[in-house]
Structure 1
């Protein structure tokens, strides 16, 4: 009985995470990207500078995890940490939704 309750709770938590992830707004993410990220990562997430990665078409969850790691300092980069520190969790989700919707070039 306890195992069943734990399993049901875990499944419910998984559904909540999936719901939150799908609630991201790519249009808002585009606006945030264009005001915060475009200078380094290029229009439509394709950088023209070799030291900055292309982000267009990256997996949404990967982008969320990396931005959160920069935000909380578990991933260290002197350029990205201050940029990510200014983003809310909603901003991060929205930017990730936008970038993952783009086709990589």
Structure 2
């Protein structure tokens, strides 16, 4: 691997880590507010998600992850693997163990068109808020392969 490729990969990983930390911090802050104000936790949508989504149901998310999407004829696990850790293409992200809020925000961005990918955008276009929450809960509950990149050269 060239030094430029290695540097690019580290930069991408760092940006992803910073985005995840921001989502995680929002959840921590929200949880702190919820403890001070029990009515705050449920909000208008019964949500604790920084994405403003309802509570995710991992079991339903697992079923959704295996369902073929009408837009592409593919399921989540066809491209990302059964636990979200074995993508068919090295440029596809590993979803297993990822922060649920991060996954929810990403799916919302694909759905709205703020984030574009030739397969993910049409797949996400038909997802409702509960579907996104359920998928995020499922993949977030799977074993992860996330690792700390501190100190890598």
TM bucket (normalised to shorter chain) is 0.7 to 0.9
1:41 corresponds to: 80
Find out whether 1:15 has 2:55 as its counterpart: no
Using the size of structure 1 for normalisation, the TM-score is 0.79
Residue ranges of structure 2 left out of the alignment (5+ in a row): 1-32, 68-74, 146-153
Find out whether 1:84 has 2:120 as its counterpart: no
Q: Aligned pair in 2 of structure 1 residues 21, 71: CA closer, same or farther (>3 Å)?
A: closer
Q: CA-atom RMSD, angstroms?
A: 2.3
More helix by share: 1
Q: Identify the structure with bigger relative contact order (alpha carbons < 8 Å, sequence gap 6+).
A: 1
Q: Deviations over 1:6-62 (max 9, x none)?
A: x9xxx5774123187572110000010112211111111112421211100000000
Q: In structure 1, what is the Cα distance between the partners aligned to 2:121 and 2:53?
A: 22
Q: In structure 1, what is the Cα distance between the partners aligned to 2:143 and 2:125?
A: 27
Residue ranges of structure 1 left out of the alignment (5+ in a row): 1-6
Q: In structure 2, what is the Cα distance between the partners aligned to 1:14 and 1:68?
A: 22
Moved over 3 A (4+): 11-14, 19-22
1:62 corresponds to: 102
Aligned length in residues: 96
Q: In structure 2, what is the Cα distance between the partners aligned to 1:13 and 1:33?
A: 32
Using the size of structure 2 for normalisation, the TM-score is 0.56
Q: In structure 1, what is the Cα distance between the partners aligned to 2:77 and 2:113?
A: 22
